[in-house]
Every structure is written in structure tokens, then in C-alpha cells.
């Protein structure tokens, strides 16, 4: 049976999303890391603050894509095994290299984070992603057991609690990474099920432009108010509308997703291959040991604040591009050599047997509490 080719529109969106995430880390871990205090408000500081917007949009896009494709998929324990081996390859590999090169003096807590990166939340995105992946068959059962009206009510409730209230009232009611990931997964799944009935292209542009405009106005207003009235709190909160739970970031991500989804499908093996390396880019550049060395010791990004604003922006994009390319090349080596070593069929079969035993029990519990029907 021939497998359907990946839609390169969505694969291109994965690449863009990861680029935005790296650009976000340039600002948040490089320019604004905890060891650097920026006392004065400058154009470059405001530009760096604006770059933070990319991370939230990129993360939202990844989970939207996840929900869109997994709503019609079956759980594969092999996928979890492959993710875990990829994570451990970089977590342990980077630690060994840095210790051998004497870049770090590794502590017991660092050893634990290195060996158990998922359960210690060493990569917060990975931990949340794997949790959602482990429970997505249950989420799918719930979504498919409900009618459109009920699903819309659940989604609206999640958006109000986890995005609208934190954005406009700073009320974080039960906010967590799992909650926001669940909301975005739900949104992606709903788009897959119901989007064919709507003009998603026009809707996408409206969501993108509207939410981008309001987030920029909010960002500019807080900075302007802080300057005019000399209120430091406003300046410190200038990126409030770029936060994880910003309804504007969700709106921009959904808009971008709909725009790319609406484009004519095509398949390009080069785009698809580069997109397959994006997870590796994240694991390498945002490793907890790599992070301070990359931004402070290799690129010294905080010194870029002294540059001309145009040069500063160009430097930010160039550094991000270099990091993306180098990390992609490293992950390419892993795919060609290291991944073959860990791709053991015996372990895959063992994990599959365990899941086949556990999954029916979970479904029975859900049916008992009437969370899913008997379909």
C-alpha cells in the first residue's frame, strides 16, 4: 500500500514555526537572560522584546498541527520510543561532550535532568508534547463521541479559561502547559473535522491580521504608557500580549495554520526532509546545558544591543539561521547513523504489547464514568 505524501505546505509551516522558536530564544535566553540587566529602554530592546512573539506562535502551531493529523490516527508506541531515543541521544550526548571539553561541571541534579529529561521537565515542550501524545486516543474518543455543538462549547470554555481570562484579566484559572496544549490540540482536531464547510483562507487572513494588529497595539501602548508616565511596571509588562496564554498568539497561530492549510497541496521531498529535522533543532539548541553556552559564550548576543537597529535585526535573523542550519546538519547525522542503532524491533514489539494491555482498561474506565460512548 502506497503512503500518502506529506503536504509540504504544512511541513514548510513546521520549518517556519521552529525558526520562530529559535528567534524567540535569541531574545528570551540571549538578550533577556537572568544574568543581564537592561536598565534603559532603547529601540533595540523593544525590537528584542518584539522577537519574543515568535516562540508562542511557533509552539501553538506545532500543537495545532499535532491535533489536525492525530485526530484520525492510531496510537503508535513506536513513535514514543523513537521520540525518547532522540531526546536521550541529545540530552546525554551533549552532556558527555561538554564534560569532556570541560565546559561544565555537572552536578547530581544535572545528571538526573540529563538521564530523565522528560519526567524532570528538562524540555518543557517535550514533556507536554509526550503527555498529550500518550493520551490523544482518549481525547479523540471524547471528541468523536460528541456532536459539533458540544465540542464547540468545550473548546470555547477552554479558550475563555486558559487564554481569554489570562490575557485581559491576568486570571490564570487552572493554567498549565498541559491545559494550553490540550486546547490547541482540540482546536487542530476541530479544524480537521469541520474546516471543509468554511472559507478557511479568508478566515485565516482575518485571524492573522486582526490578532497581530491588536497584539502590536497592546505592546506599543504598554511601552508608550511606561515612557510617558514613567511607570516601570508598564515597561516590565510590555510583552504581556506575547505570553504563552495570550489569546492573540493563539489567534495568530490559528490564522497562519488556516492560510497554509488552504493553499494548494504539493509535495517536495527537500522541504519534507528539512521539516523532519525541526524537532532535533529544538532538542539541540535549547538543551539546558547548551543554552547559556550558545547564547552567551558563542554568539555573545547581549552585545548586539549596541548595534544600529537595522543591523541588530539582521544579526538576530542571521544567528537564528546559522543555528537552525548547524542543528539540522547534526540531526541529519543522527538520522543517518545513530537512529539505526536504537531502532530495535524487539523493544517496539514489547512496548506495543504493553500498550495493547493498558489501552482497553483506560477505555473501560472512561465508559464507566460516561466520558465516552460505546461507539
pLDDT at position 28, please?
93
What is the value of pTM for the model shown? 0.88
Query: Is residue 275 a contact partner of residue 69, using CB atoms and an 8 Å limit?
Result: no
pLDDT at position 326, please?
96
What gap in Å lies between CA 128 and CA 132, rounded to an integer?
6
Q: What is the pLDDT of residues 127-146, one digit of tens each?
A: 999 999 999 999 999 999 99
Mean pLDDT of the chain: 87
At 3, give phi and psi (nearest 5°).
Answer: -80, 140
* Residues, the chain: 375
| 28-37, 91-100, 141-150, 330-339: least confidently modelled range | 28-37
Q: What is the pLDDT of residues 110-124, one digit of tens each?
A: 899 999 999 999 999
| 13-22, 75-84, 158-167, 212-221: least confidently modelled range | 75-84
**In this prediction, what percent of the chain has a pLDDT beyond 90?**
64
Q: What is the pLDDT of residues 153-172, one digit of tens each?
A: 999 999 999 999 999 998 87
DSSP track, 308-374: -HHHHHHHHHHHHHHHHHHHHHHHHHIIIIIHHHH--HHHHHHHHHHHHHHHHHHHHHHHHTTSS--
For residues 230 and 291, the model is more confident at 291
What gap in Å lies between CA 157 and CA 320, rounded to an integer?
37
pLDDT at position 309, please?
94
Q: For 157, which DSSP code?
A: H
Position 345 pLDDT exceeds 70: no
Query: Is residue 302 a contact partner of residue 36, using CB atoms and an 8 Å limit?
Result: yes
Position 373 pLDDT exceeds 60: no
For residues 354 and 141, the model is more confident at 141
pLDDT at position 117, please?
94
- How many C-beta atoms surround the C-beta of residue 172 within 10 A? 15
pLDDT at position 243, please?
85
The H or E element that residue 77 is part of is helix 77-100
For residues 208 and 41, the model is more confident at 208
Query: Is residue 35 a contact partner of residue 4, using CB atoms and an 8 Å limit?
Result: no
- Segment 84-96 mean pLDDT: 92
Helix, strand, coil percentages, rounded to 5, for the chain: 75, 0, 25
pLDDT band at 1 (very low <50, low <70, confident <90, very high): very low
| Residue environment code for 346-372, b if the CB has 16+ CB neighbours within 10 A, otherwise e | eebeebeeebeeeeeeeeeebeeeeeb
Position 374 pLDDT exceeds 80: no
What gap in Å lies between CA 279 and CA 45, rounded to an integer?
29
Q: What is the pLDDT of residues 298-312, one digit of tens each?
A: 999 988 988 999 999
Q: What is the pLDDT of residues 28-53, one digit of tens each?
A: 999 988 555 555 678 898 999 999 99
Q: What is the pLDDT of residues 168-203, one digit of tens each?
A: 998 877 668 899 999 999 999 999 998 877 788 899
What gap in Å lies between CA 321 and CA 301, rounded to an integer?
14
Amino acid at each position: 500500500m502506497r503512503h500518502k505524501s506529506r503536504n509540504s505546505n504544512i511541513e514548510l509551516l513546521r520549518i517556519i514555526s521552529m525558526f520562530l522558536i529559535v528567534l524567540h530564544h535569541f531574545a528570551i535566553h540571549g538578550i533577556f537572560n537572568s544574568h543581564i540587566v537592561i536598565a534603559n529602554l532603547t529601540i533595540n530592546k523593544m525590537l528584542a522584546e518584539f522577537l519574543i512573539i515568535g516562540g508562542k506562535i511557533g509552539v501553538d502551531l506545532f500543537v495545532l498541527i499535532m491535533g489536525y493529523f492525530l485526530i484520525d490516527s492510531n496510537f503508535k508506541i513506536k513513535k514514543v520510543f523513537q521520540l525518547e531515543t532522540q531526546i536521550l541521544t541529545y540530552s546525554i550526548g551533549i552532556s558527555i561532550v561538554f564534560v569532556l571539553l570541560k565546559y561544565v561541571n555537572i552536578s547530581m541534579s544535572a545528571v538526573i535532568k540529563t538521564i530523565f529529561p522528560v519526567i524532570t521537565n528538562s524540555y518543557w515542550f517535550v514533556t507536554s508534547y509526550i503527555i498529550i501524545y500518550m493520551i490523544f486516543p482518549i481525547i479523540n474518543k471524547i471528541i468523536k463521541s460528541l456532536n459539533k455543538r458540544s465540542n464547540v462549547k468545550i473548546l470555547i470554555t477552554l479558550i475563555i479559561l486558559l487564554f481569554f481570562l489570562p490575557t485581559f484579566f491576568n486570571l490564570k484559572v487552572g493554567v498549565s502547559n498541559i491545559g494550553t496544549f490540550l486546547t490547541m490540540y482540540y482546536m487542530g482536531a476541530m479544524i480537521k473535522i469541520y474546516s471543509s464547510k468554511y472559507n478557511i483562507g479568508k478566515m485565516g487572513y482575518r485571524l492573522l491580521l486582526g490578532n497581530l494588529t491588536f497584539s502590536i497595539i497592546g505592546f506599543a501602548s504598554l511601552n508608550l504608557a511606561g515612557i510617558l508616565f514613567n511607570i516601570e511596571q508598564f515597561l516590565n509588562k510590555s510583552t504581556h500580549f506575547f505570553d504563552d496564554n495570550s489569546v492573540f498568539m493563539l489567534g495568530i497561530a490559528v490564522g497562519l495554520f488556516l492560510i497554509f492549510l488552504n493553499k494548494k497541496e504539493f509535495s517536495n521531498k527537500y522541504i519534507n526532509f528539512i521539516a523532519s529535522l525541526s524537532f532535533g533543532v529544538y532538542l539541540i539548541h535549547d538543551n539546558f546545558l547548551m543554552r547559556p553556552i550558545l547564547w552567551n559564550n558563542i554568539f555573545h548576543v547581549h552585545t548586539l544591543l549596541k548595534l544600529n537597529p537595522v543591523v541588530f535585526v539582521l544579526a538576530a535573523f542571521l544567528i537564528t539561521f546559522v543555528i537552525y542550519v548547524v542543528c539540522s546538519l547534526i540531526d541529519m547525522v543522527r538520522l543517518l547513523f545513530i537512529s539505526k542503532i536504537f531502532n530495535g524491533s524487539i523493544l517496539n514489539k514489547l512496548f506495543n504489547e504493553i500498550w495493547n494491555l493498558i489501552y482497553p482498561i483506560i477505555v473501560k474506565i472512561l465508559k464507566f464514568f460516561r466520558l465516552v460512548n460505546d461507539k
